[in-house]
Amino acid sequence: MKKSLLLALESSCDETAGAIVKDGRDVLAEFVASQVDLHRAYGGVVPEVACRAHMECLLPGVDALFKQAGVTPADLDAVAVTNRPGLIGALLVGVSAAKGLALAWDTPLIGVDHIEGHIAAAALAEPRLEAPYLALVVSGGHTNLYLVRELGAGRGGMECLVSTLDDAAGEAFDKAAKLLGLGFPGGPRIEAAAKSGDGSVYDWRKSCLPPDGVNFSFSGLKTAVMYAARGRAGRKGPLLLDDAGVADAAASFQESVTNALVTRTLEAAERHGVKWVALGGGVAANGYLRAALARAAAEKGLEVAIPPMSLCTDNAVMIAARAHELFVAGVRDTLSLETVAR
C-alpha cells in the first residue's frame, strides 16, 4: 500500500477541523473547533459568523497540529482540503488557506468532497468492509444513499441511488427541535428529549416515504411537527405541548426519520444484492438510528459499518482518509482548485 503523510483541513460548515494523518488511518494529531456556542444565539448556523470563526481558528490550529504530531511541513506529501459541498464562504476559508500553505511549502494540493469524506469514515472504522456496499450519508445538508462499487475508488466512483426530495434529515432535526422549543443544535436535543417519550403517539412515518417508492421526504414531517407543537398559529405560535408532549413528539419524529432511512436502505440493499451497509454524516451520531439500522440489517443478514460518533460529525480525519485514497489513485489538484457550494 502506498504511503502518505497528509495535512487535512475541513471548514465546510460550522466546525473548523484539521488533522495530520499517516497512510489515511494513523492519526498523528487532530483538532475540531466547534462553533456551536457562537451560533446558538441565532438558533442556526450563520454563514458570516462561521467564516470569521474559521479564519480565527484555522492557522493557529495548523501550527498546533505540527507541534503535536512532531513533523514539519517538509515531511508532508500533500495538503488536503474540503472544497465541496458546503457554505461557500466557509469552504473558501479552508481552500484559500490550503492553497497558500501548498504554495508556500511547495506541496501538492488535493481537494476532497465532504460527502466522500463521510463515506471514507466508515471504511476507516471498519476494516472488514467490502465492496460493493451501500453508504447512507445523513447530515445537515444531505440525505443520500450511494452504491460504492470499489473500495477507495477515485473521484466520482460512487452512484447516488436515493436522495431527499426536499429537506435533509439533519435539517429536519434542527427545524423540528426549534418548533418543539428544544433549541440548537437540534439533533442531539431531539435525541435527548425522545428518551423519555413514546414514539408511537404520532404516526408520521408515511410522510417520510414519498410515493415514488425510492427517495426520502422530510418537509411534510416538519409541517406535522409544527401543527402538533404550535397548532394553527404555525411556526410563531406558542408551544402547546408540555414536557411529556414534547418528548412524545420528539420520539415520534425520530422514529419516523429512522424508519424512512432504514426502510429505503434495506430496499436498496436487496435491489443491488450488497452484503454491507455503511453509515455516515452528523445524523449518524444518533443512537436510536445506529441501533435500529444495526438491528434491521442483522435481521436481513447484512453487515454494517458504523463509525464512532467522533468520525460521524464533521472532522478532518475523514477528509484525510478520503484524500489518502485519492493520493494513492494519483489525484493531484492545482492552485486553480474550485470551491463548489452544491
Binding site for ligand KG4 (CB under 6 A): 13, 139-141, 170, 173-174, 185-188, 191, 281-283, 285-286, 313-314
Interface ranges with Zn ion (CB under 5 A): 139, 314
- 278 neighbors 119 (Cβ within 8 angstroms): yes
Q: Please identify, using beta-carbon distances, which residue of 102 and 177 lies nearer to ligand KG4.
A: 177
Residues composing the chain: 342
Helix, strand, coil tally for the chain in percent (to 5): 50, 20, 35
- 132 neighbors 152 (Cβ within 8 angstroms): no
Q: Please identify, using beta-carbon distances, which residue of 61 and 140 lies nearer to ligand KG4.
A: 140
The least distance separating ligand KG4 from the CB of residue 136, rounded to whole angstroms, comes to 12
The least distance separating ligand KG4 from the CB of residue 300, rounded to whole angstroms, comes to 24
Cis preceding-peptide flag for 132 (omega within 30 of 0): yes
Q: Please identify, using beta-carbon distances, which residue of 44 and 108 lies nearer to ligand KG4.
A: 44
Which of ligand KG4, Zn ion, none sits in contact with 83, Cβ below 5 to 8 A by type?
none
Which of Zn ion, ligand KG4, none sits in contact with 173, Cβ below 5 to 8 A by type?
ligand KG4
The least distance separating Zn ion from the CB of residue 227, rounded to whole angstroms, comes to 30
The least distance separating ligand KG4 from the CB of residue 180, rounded to whole angstroms, comes to 13
Q: Tally the C-alpha atoms within 13 A of residue 292's C-alpha that lie toward its C-beta.
A: 18
- Rounded-to-10 torsion of CA 150, 210, 314, 6: 20
Q: Please identify, using beta-carbon distances, which residue of 76 and 141 lies nearer to ligand KG4.
A: 141
CA 301 to chain centre: 26
The least distance separating Zn ion from the CB of residue 254, rounded to whole angstroms, comes to 19
- Give residue 41's identity as a one-letter amino acid code: A
The least distance separating Zn ion from the CB of residue 110, rounded to whole angstroms, comes to 18
Q: Please identify, using beta-carbon distances, which residue of 146 and 173 lies nearer to ligand KG4.
A: 173
Which of Zn ion, ligand KG4, none sits in contact with 188, Cβ below 5 to 8 A by type?
ligand KG4
Residue with cell 494513523: 26
Which of Zn ion, ligand KG4, none sits in contact with 117, Cβ below 5 to 8 A by type?
none
Which of ligand KG4, Zn ion, none sits in contact with 248, Cβ below 5 to 8 A by type?
none
Calpha distance 88→83 (Å, rounded): 9
Which of ligand KG4, Zn ion, none sits in contact with 186, Cβ below 5 to 8 A by type?
ligand KG4
Where do runs of H (alpha helix) occur along 212-340?
A: 219-230, 243-272, 287-299, 309-312, 317-328
- 41 neighbors 56 (Cβ within 8 angstroms): no
Q: Please identify, using beta-carbon distances, which residue of 199 and 280 lies nearer to Zn ion.
A: 280
Cα R_g (the chain), whole angstroms? 20
